[in-house]
């Protein structure tokens, strides 16, 4: 849940800052970034829950990973920001590592790199 709260703060900060400091095109782009970061945070929350409940529903983790990858693909297609592209690549690699760990039989893979990379996307989406 901490990731979700952090993204909610990013949304608020972005709306307040961008509303007065930028034109509509920049505002739309920032909102796309924030909305996608929020979706990624929700998917990371789902992944954490899925890994915690892996014994009950092993497919849940795969679905959460698929959702994160889908959001990353969407975000990657919308940005030309180098910092955001790097953060997306880092999260993509972390998701791949978790998927491989699960495929190799690890029912409790380390999700720290995933949550860290998702948090970095939230930071990059915050106007500074």
- Interatomic CA distance for residues 51 and 32, integer angstroms: 28
Tens digits of residue pLDDT in 70-111: 888 887 777 777 888 888 899 999 999 998 998 898 888 999
CB count in 10 Å sphere of residue 49 = 13
Tens digits of residue pLDDT in 50-78: 888 876 777 888 888 888 888 888 877 77
Is the Cβ–Cβ distance between 18 and 127 less than 8 Å?
Answer: yes
The whole model's pTM is what? 0.71
Is the Cβ–Cβ distance between 121 and 70 less than 8 Å?
Answer: no
* CATH code for the domain defined by 2-124: 1.20.120
- Interatomic CA distance for residues 47 and 37, integer angstroms: 15
Domain ranges in the chain?
2-124
Tens digits of residue pLDDT in 16-29: 444 444 445 555 56
């Amino acid at each position: 849940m901490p990731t979700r709260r952090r993204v909610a703060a990013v949304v608020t900060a972005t709306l307040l800052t961008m509303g007065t400091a930028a034109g509509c095109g920049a505002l739309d782009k920032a909102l796309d970034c924030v909305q996608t970061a929020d979706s990624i945070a929700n998917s990371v929350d789902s992944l954490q829950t899925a890994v915690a409940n892996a014994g009950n529903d092993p497919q849940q983790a795969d679905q959460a990973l698929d959702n994160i990858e889908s959001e990353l693909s969407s975000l990657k297609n919308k940005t030309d920001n180098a910092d955001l592209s790097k953060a997306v690549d880092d999260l993509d690699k972390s998701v791949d590592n978790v998927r491989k760990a699960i495929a190799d039989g690890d029912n409790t893979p380390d999700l720290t790199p995933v949550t860290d990379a998702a948090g970095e996307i939230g930071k990059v989406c915050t106007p500074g």
